[in-house]
């Protein structure tokens, strides 16, 4: 058949026209270049070899393309790939060329640097090492650690040969014994101190720490004279009533019993415990938050501050509880009686006080709040002049001063505290977390301020940044703080996000130092997911110092596994953001937090900050161009259940047979397929039961099994 060049002529003409049009559109667009810092991925590492030492996690590249294409680039679109398939053990120099950089279509790589990367490759090996239980803090006065048992006692690790030669043991995540009088039984994660080594298979250890009274002795210089076996109708009186024995008698036994032995007692000095895991907490109006103790605490805080040439300057802030105002007045009265100058920032988030104390050079900052607790409770948190929470050493010093009964607190009415308005200074600091990046795809935001300290500042800040804000929990009346709202009750916010078609939701707690999120589908995003998405992005942009983050024993084991898969280490610490901060400062790290939503970015502030956390999550969304649901979905967590049982007393649960037996049965059922953590709250009369396992229905039933035993024996 003869070829007909005019067959389908009009279709060909249209195709040519479209091609010419596209050529003019693309060819007429300005070509630009852009410099990027992009992640470096190492692929095809030969079996039996490992990269050791400080290998680069990112490289510099320069790309060229049309302005529209480069303008749509986001983190993760450009990745440098180093192929290690032909590598051998030893010190190697590997070349990195522009064709090793993966870019979207239409973009040209013009430069990558450094062009040569030094790497050290070592052969892998395995080793069996003993497992040692790690404990932190000291039991309460009069108690000691009697014995520690752990199962398993040994574990197999793997890693580079040089790392295993130096490795002598594996250890558990720390178990907090500070101030306890009860034995502790916990299932905790096993880890190794050398980040180059790892467990062949992740598993947990069952640790039992027996706490027992200290045996002590005491010398009695005098003893009372008592009359025994007098016959009916007779009476007798001894003169003197106390006598010196012919020789000093030394009594030995359990400390609490020996110290009850009658002898001379110094009533001018007594022992007192005020500080818990997050400052002073209690029911407002009753000890330790009664008027006299609060005034004594204000005086003791000033006395404990380092000596200075000028009078101490204290900054006070509070949340919206009805008891906050009078506690503020009494605390300030005590402090002023010792020469301090005291001003109040009024109702303001806790992290704002931490920032303002440091930035405006106050001697200390005081926050009157009980965080996520109900309105009947209140508390006092103390920050040093550097914006850090008081150390336990300083807390102990304050307690000793309060306990000294040789001085009295001032009486009379406490006058109001002078007010200052520094809210805008804090908000300007918080805006830095965004780094000027606003997510174009996440403009509709719902927030729940828990009728607490963020009720005015959080909506104001987000609206000033251009977000369309739907706010709830912003009508405090002194008694509705945290009442079925906020970060501890995000279900209502989840419904609001879906009903209003919002892009995400943010729930704060009563004092604004934590935040929990909700994605656009109504799914709740906790602190573990926030740590994971922030760590991943900070690593990709070269901001994750040490390639390590800090979390507590309450974080899901899935977080540890997900971070490890990305080459990010995890340090666990006891519950409490002050312990997270201690680890961050010790190792100069840049991210840490708690599953509950306390997230710390120490480059900005030395304490958890719900508003800064919210802006940091929005920044990740802006930099990646991805919705929160997508980012949070990268973390696969083991099913977890946390049951809180209110108790009438904090007895050693391991010494209660019914409870201990229920916990032991659950541990045997988990058998390495999850973990059990049973601990008392540091701020409330609650026993917390946390279980992680493979099936939600199983762990729910097991948690309820333990909770039922607790309610039967010591439930309130």
* Gap between the terminal Cα atoms of the chain: 97
What per-residue string of b and e applies to 428-444 under the rule 16 or more CB within 10 Å gives b?
ebbbebbeeeebeebeb
Residue 491 CB coordination number (10 Å): 13
Find the radius of gyration of the CA atoms of the chain: 31
Please choose, from the candidates 280, 474, 256, the residue with its C-alpha nearest in 3D space to the C-alpha of residue 373: 280
The token pair at 632 is 């949070």
Spatial separation of the C-alpha atoms in residues 517 and 473, rounded to whole Å: 15
How far is C-alpha 108 from the geometric centre of its chain's CA atoms?
43
Q: Could you give the angle at the alpha carbon of 579 between the alpha carbons of 574 and 584, nearest 5°?
A: 120
Spatial separation of the C-alpha atoms in residues 523 and 505, rounded to whole Å: 10
- Residue count of the chain, please give it: 716
- Write down the catalytic residue from 183, 371, 384, 616: 371
* Active-site residue, 35 included: no
Q: What is the residue whose two structure tokens read 């840490």?
A: 592
CB-based contacts of 666, cutoff 8 Å, min separation 6: 676, 691, 702, 705, 706
Spatial separation of the C-alpha atoms in residues 348 and 383, rounded to whole Å: 15
Please choose, from the candidates 657, 650, 643, 659, the residue with its C-alpha nearest in 3D space to the C-alpha of residue 704: 643
Give the dihedral of Cα atoms 370, 375, 376, 378; nearest 10 deg: 20
Q: What are phi and psi of 256, to 5 degrees?
A: -65, -25
Q: Could you give the angle at the alpha carbon of 215 between the alpha carbons of 211 and 216, nearest 5°?
A: 140
How far is C-alpha 258 from the geometric centre of its chain's CA atoms?
41
Spatial separation of the C-alpha atoms in residues 194 and 289, rounded to whole Å: 45
Spatial separation of the C-alpha atoms in residues 185 and 208, rounded to whole Å: 4
- DSSP, residue by residue, 309-371: SS--EEEEEE-S-TTHHHHHHHHHHHHHTTT-EEEEEEE--HHHHHHHHHHTT-SEEEEE--T
Q: What is the residue whose two structure tokens read 């002590």?
A: 216
Spatial separation of the C-alpha atoms in residues 375 and 379, rounded to whole Å: 11
- Residue 299 in contact with residue 312, Cβ under 8 Å? no
Q: Report DSSP state, residue 419.
A: B
**Cis check: omega of the bond before 152, within 30 degrees of 0:** yes
- Residue 108 in contact with residue 66, Cβ under 8 Å? no
- Residue 129 in contact with residue 157, Cβ under 8 Å? yes
- Residue 446 in contact with residue 420, Cβ under 8 Å? no
The token pair at 454 is 């963020």
- Residue 239 in contact with residue 165, Cβ under 8 Å? no
Helix (H) or strand (E) holding 145: strand 143-151
Cα-based distances in Å from 483 to 100, 236, 283: 56, 63, 16
| Residues designated catalytic | 371
């Amino acid at each position: 058949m003869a070829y007909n060049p005019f067959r389908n002529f009009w279709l060909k003409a249209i195709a040519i026209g479209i091609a010419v049009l596209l050529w003019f559109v693309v060819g007429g667009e300005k070509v630009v270049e852009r410099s990027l810092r992009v992640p470096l991925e190492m692929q095809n590492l030969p079996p039996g070899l490992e990269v050791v030492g400080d290998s680069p996690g990112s490289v510099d590249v320069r790309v060229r393309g049309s302005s529209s294409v480069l303008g749509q680039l986001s983190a993760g679109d450009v990745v440098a790939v180093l192929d290690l398939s032909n590598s051998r053990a030893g010190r190697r120099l590997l070349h990195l060329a522009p064709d090793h950089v993966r870019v979207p279509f239409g973009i040209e790589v013009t430069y990558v640097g450094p062009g040569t990367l030094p790497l050290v490759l070592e052969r892998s090996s395995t080793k069996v090492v003993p497992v040692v239980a790690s404990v932190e803090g000291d039991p309460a006065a009069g108690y000691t650690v009697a014995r520690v048992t752990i199962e398993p006692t040994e574990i197999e690790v793997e890693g580079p040969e040089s790392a295993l030669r130096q490795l002598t043991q594996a250890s558990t995540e720390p178990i907090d014994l500070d101030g306890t009088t009860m034995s502790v039984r916990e299932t905790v994660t096993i880890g190794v101190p050398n980040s180059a080594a790892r467990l062949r298979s992740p598993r947990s250890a069952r640790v039992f720490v027996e706490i027992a009274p200290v045996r002590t002795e005491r010398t009695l210089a005098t003893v009372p004279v008592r009359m025994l076996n007098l016959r009916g109708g007779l009476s007798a009186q001894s003169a003197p009533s106390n006598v010196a024995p012919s020789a000093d008698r030394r009594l030995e036994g359990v400390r609490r019993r020996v110290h009850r032995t009658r002898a001379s007692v110094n009533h001018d000095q007594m022992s007192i415990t005020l500080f818990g895991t997050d400052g002073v907490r209690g029911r407002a109006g009753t000890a330790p938050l009664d008027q006299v103790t609060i005034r004594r605490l204000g005086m003791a805080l000033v006395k404990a501050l380092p000596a200075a040439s000028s009078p101490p300057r204290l900054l006070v802030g509070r949340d919206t509880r009805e008891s906050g105002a009078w506690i503020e007045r009494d605390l300030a009265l005590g402090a002023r009686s010792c020469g301090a100058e005291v001003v109040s920032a009024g109702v303001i988030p806790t992290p704002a006080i931490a920032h303002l104390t440091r930035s405006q050079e106050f001697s200390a900052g005081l926050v009157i709040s009980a965080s996520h607790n109900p309105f009947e409770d209140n508390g006092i948190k103390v920050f040093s002049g550097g914006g850090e929470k008081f150390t336990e050493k300083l807390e102990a010093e304050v307690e000793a001063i309060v306990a000294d009964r040789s001085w009295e607190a001032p009486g009379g009415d406490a006058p109001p505290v002078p007010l200052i308005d520094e809210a805008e200074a804090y908000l300007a600091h918080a805006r830095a977390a965004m780094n000027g990046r606003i997510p174009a795809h996440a403009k509709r935001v719902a927030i729940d301020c828990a009728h607490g300290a963020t009720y005015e500042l959080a909506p104001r800040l987000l609206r000033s940044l251009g977000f369309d804000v739907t706010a709830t929990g912003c009508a405090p009346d002194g008694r509705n703080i945290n009442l079925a709202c906020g970060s501890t009750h995000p279900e209502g916010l989840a419904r609001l996000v879906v009903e209003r078609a919002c892009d995400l939701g943010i729930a704060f707690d009563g004092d604004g130092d934590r935040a929990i999120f909700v994605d656009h589908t109504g799914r709740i995003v906790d602190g573990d997911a926030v740590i994971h998405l922030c760590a991943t992005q900070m690593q990709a942009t070269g901001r994750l110092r040490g390639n390590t983050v800090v979390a507590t024993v309450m974080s899901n084991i899935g977080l540890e596994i997900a971070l490890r898969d990305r080459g990010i280490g995890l340090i666990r610490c006891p519950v409490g953001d002050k312990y997270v901060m201690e680890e961050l400062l010790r190792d100069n790290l840049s991210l840490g937090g708690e599953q509950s939503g306390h997230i710390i970015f120490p480059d900005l502030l030395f304490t958890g900050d719900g508003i800064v956390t919210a802006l940091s999550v929005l920044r990740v969304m802006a930099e990646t161009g991805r919705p929160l649901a997508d980012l949070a979905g990268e973390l696969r967590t083991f099913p977890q259940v946390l049951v809180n049982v209110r108790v009438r007393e904090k007895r050693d649960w391991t010494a209660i047979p019914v409870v201990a037996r229920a916990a032991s049965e659950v541990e045997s059922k988990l058998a390495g397929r999850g973990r059990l953590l049973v601990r008392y709250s540091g701020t409330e009369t609650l026993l917390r039961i946390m279980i992680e396992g493979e099936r939600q229905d199983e762990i729910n039933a097991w948690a309820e099994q333990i909770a039922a035993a607790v309610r039967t024996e010591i439930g309130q």
